[in-house]
């Protein structure tokens, strides 16, 4: 696990973008998380000179809301990155019933590992939409939906990724960093603990 702590937000964005940019120099398959933290990073990535037509972007997780809903992860990703490039984007089609959306997305997933998966971690230790003490933590299928109507990649698909990149933003995430460095909780109570074992894990923490 490589942890990089930043005191300057612009540097946090720049260095985070550079990691993604390096992977994007060649044809790549990348899973993107939503939320406010990665948005400026995606926006900066969209301004780079990259072979976007050879890139395939995927969603890590999504809320079961309309595609134009303000809380839609696909809306944020599309507006900040996809609409500004020629990259292909595979997303959870929430116009469909949940089971059909899951099936359609699973069929679009690459059989090979992602070159990069970008993740965040919530205050309760959830990552993607894999929440503490839920059955989804042990799901073996690559995609599932949660009891609170979220659609998500599962740990087997996430952990087979060649590289994991976690973004943490703000002083409230300090406790998460400490838990990752010195785990005291099981993955049932703190799902992100499962990520620690990955051989190529990088964390970018903007301390604020």
Please, what is the Cα angle at 23 between 20 and 25, to 5 degrees?
110
Judge contact between 32 and 77, C-beta under 8 A. Answer: yes
pLDDT averaged over every residue in the chain: 95
Per-domain residue ranges of the chain? 2-117+127-173+201-206
Count of alpha carbons within 13 angstroms of residue 193, beta-carbon side: 15
Backbone φ and ψ for 72, nearest 5 degrees, come out as -75, 125
- In tens, the pLDDT along 111-170 reads 999 999 999 999 999 999 999 999 999 999 999 999 889 999 999 999 999 999 999 999
Residues 61-79: tens digit of each pLDDT: 999 998 888 889 999 999 9
Q: Which residues contact 43 (CB under 8 A, 6 or more apart)?
A: 80, 81
In the chain, the percentage of residues whose pLDDT exceeds 70 is 100
Spatial distance between the Cα atoms of 114 and 153, rounded to a whole number of angstroms? 12
Looking at residues 169-193, what average pLDDT do you find?
95
CATH C-level class of 2-117+127-173+201-206: alpha beta
End-to-end CA distance of the chain: 21
């Amino acid at each position: 696990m490589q942890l990089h702590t930043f005191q300057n937000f612009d540097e946090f964005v720049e260095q985070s973008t550079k990691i993604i940019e390096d992977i994007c120099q060649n044809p790549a398959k990348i899973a993107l998380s939503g939320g406010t933290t990665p948005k400026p990073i995606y926006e900066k990535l969209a301004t780079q000179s990259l072979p976007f037509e050879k890139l395939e972007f995927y969603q890590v997780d999504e809320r079961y809301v309309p595609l134009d809903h303000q809380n839609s992860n696909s809306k944020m990703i599309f507006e900040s990155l996809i609409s500004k490039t020629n990259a292909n984007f595979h997303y959870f089609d929430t116009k469909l019933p949940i089971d059909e959306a899951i099936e359609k997305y699973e069929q679009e997933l690459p059989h090979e590992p992602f070159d990069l998966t970008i993740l965040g971690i919530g205050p309760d230790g959830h990552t993607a939409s894999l929440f503490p003490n839920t059955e989804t933590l042990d799901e073996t299928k690559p995609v599932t939906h949660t009891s609170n109507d979220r659609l998500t990649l599962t740990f087997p698909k996430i952990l087979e990724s060649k590289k994991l990149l976690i973004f943490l933003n703000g002083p409230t995430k300090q406790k998460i960093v400490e838990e990752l460095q010195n785990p005291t909780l099981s993955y049932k109570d703190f799902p992100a603990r499962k990520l620690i074992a990955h051989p190529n894990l990088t964390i970018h923490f903007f301390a604020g």
